[in-house]
Structure 1
Amino acid sequence: MSTRPILIIPEPKLRTLSEPVGKIDSEVRKLVEDMFDTMYEAPGIGLAAIQVGEQKRVITIDIAREGEGKQPVALINPEIIAESEETSFYKEGCLSIPDYYEDVERPARITVRFQDVEGAVREVEADGLFATCVQHEIDHLNGVLFIDHLSKLKRDRVVKKFTKMARREAVL
């Protein structure tokens, strides 16, 4: 088990479409373990494989509150198969956009189909924070960031700020 570096915008890989996982083998299970380690250390409640540079359709989530036991969930090849017309707002953040948070509107309830680490196909109905987190992470697999759900003005401001920071770091 080990942590991996998390990619930060404007890293171009974050805008790529992740590939489906064919065979769930020891390499995929190791990726899932590393993703949980990375996510917990960050700390965060969700992570997509592309955020650690792996172009695979794998996400990890744990929305347990502080003081509760860990409740890790790994979703391989997740796809949303149903969503409610009702929406909800959550203040979202992202490990690839550190220290920036904004309210994002998404469907309040979803049904997601995925494979677990043993390869079994599962379907789960989700609402609340779990539904928001699943949608946020699936967006990553499709090259979409939560800032893409914001106004162009807010999005441009954030991208500009992180592009400047990346340039400064490249000079050092």
Structure 2
Amino acid sequence: MKRSILQHPDARLREVCQPVNGALLDGLIEDMFETMYSAPGRGLAAPQIGVMLRVFVTDTTWKDGDMSPEAFVNPEIENQSSEVQINEEACLSIVDQSRRVARPAWVDLAWTGLNGTRMQQRFDGFAAACVCHELDHLDGRLILDHPVPS
């Protein structure tokens, strides 16, 4: 089911989300993907649809014709590069306003998969920026909070 996306300055976008501890995710992930694809976006965090749990979904390649949907429960960055990349980022919760944001060139992310298994993967380039952007949402942080790089 497609859900409504909260828009800035909704105060819920500034809340730190709670870890998923046995919470039922029935239908949530499917709803998040449907909402993200119809928006159309490449990532969506649960707080953007008013669910204050540490969950986000991404599909960084679908607009290029290659579907790669991924769901992340309780994600954490375990390591990141000191090298920085600067990208123009947009946000489904901040319509018609993009911003240049500096992010690590790569991040090592750990999370719980939908089957309950702990996962780890290195993301680089655009995928790293995307997971960092969505992780920011789980901590109540928006692209507007990042200083504009020179």
Q: Give the TM-score taking structure 1 as reference length.
A: 0.83
Tell me how far apart the structure 2 counterparts of residues 4 and 98 of structure 1 sit (CA, whole Å). 16
Where is the helix percentage greater, Structure 1 or Structure 2?
Answer: 1
Contact (CA 8 Å) 2:42, 2:60: kept in 1 or not? yes
Tell me how far apart the structure 2 counterparts of residues 11 and 145 of structure 1 sit (CA, whole Å). 12
Among candidates 53, 56, 61, match of residue 58 of structure 2: 61
Amino acid of the residue matched to residue 81 of structure 2? Answer: S
Tell me how far apart the structure 2 counterparts of residues 67 and 29 of structure 1 sit (CA, whole Å). 29
Consecutive unaligned residues of structure 1, counting only runs of 5 or more, are: 152-172
Q: Over aligned residue pairs, what C-alpha RMSD do you find?
A: 1.2
State which drifts further: 114-123 or 60-69: 60-69
Tell me how far apart the structure 2 counterparts of residues 23 and 93 of structure 1 sit (CA, whole Å). 32
Q: How far apart are 1:65 and its partner, in Å?
A: 4.4
Structure 1 runs of 4+ aligned residues shifted over 6 Å read none
Contact (CA 8 Å) 1:17, 1:142: kept in 2 or not? yes
| Secondary structure at the counterpart of residue 66 of structure 1 | helix
Contact (CA 8 Å) 1:35, 1:49: kept in 2 or not? yes
Whichever of the two has the greater Rg, that structure is 1
**Matched residue, 2:7:** 8
**Matched residue, 1:166:** none
% same residue: 41
**Matched residue, 1:155:** none
Q: How far apart are 1:67 and its partner, in Å?
A: 4.6
> How many residues in Structure 1 have an aligned counterpart in Structure 2?
148
Consecutive unaligned residues of structure 2, counting only runs of 5 or more, are: none
